[in-house]
Amino acid sequence: MEQVQQLLEILKETPEMALWGLTLYFLFILLQLASWVYALKVIMQQFIKRYFDYRDKSLNSKRGVEIAEMFEKQKISGVDYNLLIDLLNSVKKNSNYLHESGIRNAINKLKGL
Residues 23 and 58 grouped into a single domain? yes
| Residues 18-28 pLDDT 10s | 777 788 888 88
DSSP classification of residue 112: T
Residue ranges making up the domain that contains 65: 1-74
pLDDT at 91: 82
Structural domain total, the chain: 2
Residues 93 and 109 grouped into a single domain? yes
Q: Report the share of the chain in percent with pLDDT over 70.
A: 96
pLDDT at 51: 92
Q: Report the share of the chain in percent with pLDDT over 90.
A: 17
pLDDT at 35: 92
Where the chain has pLDDT below 50, the residues are none
Residues 14 and 35 grouped into a single domain? yes
Residues 2 and 18 grouped into a single domain? yes
Residues 56 and 80 grouped into a single domain? no
Rounded to two decimals, what is the model's pTM? Answer: 0.42
Residues 24 and 36 grouped into a single domain? yes
Residues 54 and 87 grouped into a single domain? no
Distances (CA, A) of 43 to 18, 32, 36, 93, 105: 38, 17, 11, 44, 47
